[in-house]
A and B are shown apart, each in its own frame.
Chain A
Amino acid sequence: MSNSANTSPTAIASIVLWVIVVAALLYGVVQTAIDASALFTA
């Protein structure tokens, strides 16, 4: 991304939002995978 449209405050906020949603999804997937592992290890 080299032009000003993609370095605007909105674009930067969108990048921050990407980090938030990916982190949240990873949290959810990892926690659920830990619960799901009981099916195979319990």
Chain B
Amino acid sequence: MTTILDHDRTVAPANYNRWLIPPSALAVHLSIGQVYAFSVFRNPLVDRFDTSLTAVGVIFSISIVMLGLSAAFGGKWVERNGPRKAMFVSGVFWCSGFAVGALGVATGQLWVVYFGYGVLGGLGLGIGYISPVSTLLKWFPDRPGMATGIAIMGFGGGALIASPLTSELLDLFAEAPEDAIAQTFLVLGAFYFVVMMLGAFTVRVPPEGWTPENYTADENGQATAGAKSVRVETAVRRRQFWLLWVVLLCNVTAGIGILEQASPMVQEFFDDVGPAEAAGFVGFLSLCNMLGRIVWSSASDSIGRRRTYMGYLGLGGLLYLLIAVAGTSSVVMFVAVTGVILSFYGGGFATIPAYLKDLFGTYNVGAIHGRLLTAWSLAGVAGPLIINGIADFQIAAGREGPALYELSLYVMVAVMAAGFLANMLVRPLSEEDFEEDPASEDASGEPSQDGSR
């Protein structure tokens, strides 16, 4: 017996307009994208618990680690059970994380916040991140870059929404922000739950054999949508998977190199840039990050995935070099160049699922994507370690101003070069690696009653 959450209950009727699908993906990604606005809670939480920035920072770190783990280990479950169940589960975990976190704040127990927002929320993050990807790729096999760009743009956009919204809620509920955290958590959790459930219950998968009008199989001989795909277990044993893992690791590490230090960096580079302008600079970079996800990923449908990553990593590396060599010469140049670098950072995230689809086929792309996101988890640790470690070293050596960051910038040029090389080594897989997609199985592995899957 199927339930409303099961894959079979999400098959779209004939002639369903595929443009009704992206908002369900956006609903999930805009909600979970809040995690990158968590820093708004940082100082209020420090005051509430009378603790250190490091202790509060652990909350975010736990959530990102759990994101990586749940995406990696939950990917196959997501693919077998379909997008609705995955989005539902994501919503339950993500929003219960806020509720449990609120309990921790209200009772003064930081470990409860670690468990709530960190563990529960993080589980929801990973499942939610990968849940709509393969569905969108099935609906838009002719424009996979645009499709994944729309969804993953939502993750970037989620932070843009949550940051001002959180500030307003903290102001609304109490005079002092530290007294308003629990209420804000509850309101955010309730709001995101409604939005994510709307997304979960409006998502549809295409009917068996559906293709867009005028769509033909890829002329380069790459895997066609829904025809043949590579199993996850096979994919992770192929050089192509690990080359893309290195590509993502390098692109994300380099982007974090700017993000992590954007505010202090711009103030060190230019004497007439103060905290207000620096905050504006961070906002500008956030906009570039979000726009890059949709613009560059959509462009990759025309340019080609490999060439697009040549741009992210090759041109991105040259831009890093320009900043390192001549970054202090002009505020306009510095802002423009770092904006482009951040757009490549966002574009790298958004384009990778389409790249995986090109190489491994559509059927298991969500699960393979989940495994690949472990590169993000590592970059999230490695990037700040490199930047902060070098800055601390330079401070200890008595250096100041731009000199604090120049070595980091050259390191990032090398990181980009490594990623560029990895991308250039990517080649199509052997046909032997592909298997027929299990077109008529339900989540239990048995043929569905009506053959609709």
Contact = CB atoms under 8 A, between A and B. Distances in A.
A5 B12 contact: yes
Interface residues of A, number: 30
Given A5-B14, A29-B160, A14 B274 contact: no
Contact of A10 (B164, B204, B282): B204
A27 B160 CA distance: 8
Contacts of A21: 23, 26-27, 30, 154
A7 B24 CA distance: 17
Contact of B160 (A13, A15, A28, A42): A28
Interface string A8-29: 1011011111101100110111
Contact of B16 (A5, A37, A38): A5
A20 B287 contact: no
Contacts of A20: 23, 27, 195, 198
A6 B17 contact: yes
Contacts of B160: 25, 28-29, 31-32
A25 B22 CA distance: 14
Interface string B344-355: 000000000000
A3 B154 CA distance: 29
Nearest to B167: A31
Contacts of B287: 29, 32-33, 36
Interface in B266-310: 274, 276-277, 279-284, 286-287, 290
Contacts, number: 109
A38 B20 contact: no
A14 B24 contact: yes
Contact of A36 (B13, B195, B280): B280
B284 A14 contact: no
B198 A38 contact: no
B161 A28 contact: yes
Contact of B284 (A6, A11, A17, A39): A39
Contact of A11 (B17, B290, B335): B17
Interface string B35-60: 00000000000000000000000000
Interface string B137-177: 00000000000000000100111111111000000000000
A42 B199 CA distance: 40
A16 B277 CA distance: 37
* Interface residues of chain A: helix, strand, loop or mixed (majority): helix
Contacts of A5: 12-17
Given A17-B24, A37-B280, A39-B284, A25 B204 contact: no
A8 B12 CA distance: 11
A18 B23 contact: yes
Contacts of B165: 27
Contacts of A42: 274, 276-277, 280
B21 interface: yes
B394 interface: no
A28 to B, nearest CB: 3
A32 to B, nearest CB: 5
A34 to B, nearest CB: 8
B283 A33 contact: yes
B410 interface: no
Chain B CB count within 10 A is highest, among A5, A13, A39, for A39
B17 A1 contact: yes
Contacts of B198: 13, 16-17, 20
Nearest to B161: A28
Nearest to A33: B287
A15 B202 CA distance: 10
Chain A CB count within 10 A is highest, among B21, B30, B277, B280, for B280
Given A14-B202, A28-B157, A39 B277 contact: yes
Interface string B204-220: 10000000000000000
Given A5-B13, A33-B283, 6 more contacts: A5-B14, A5-B17, A13-B201, A17-B23, A20-B27, A39-B284
- 9 A-B pairs with the lowest CB-CB distances in the bound complex, closest first: A28-B160, A39-B280, A38-B280, A28-B161, A35-B283, A36-B283, A14-B20, A31-B164, A17-B23
24 contacts: A6-B20, A10-B204, A14-B23, A18-B23, A20-B27, A21-B26, A24-B161, A25-B161, A27-B165, A28-B157, A28-B161, A28-B164, A31-B160, A32-B163, A32-B283, A36-B280, A36-B287, A38-B276, A38-B277, A38-B283, A39-B280, A39-B284, A40-B280, A42-B276
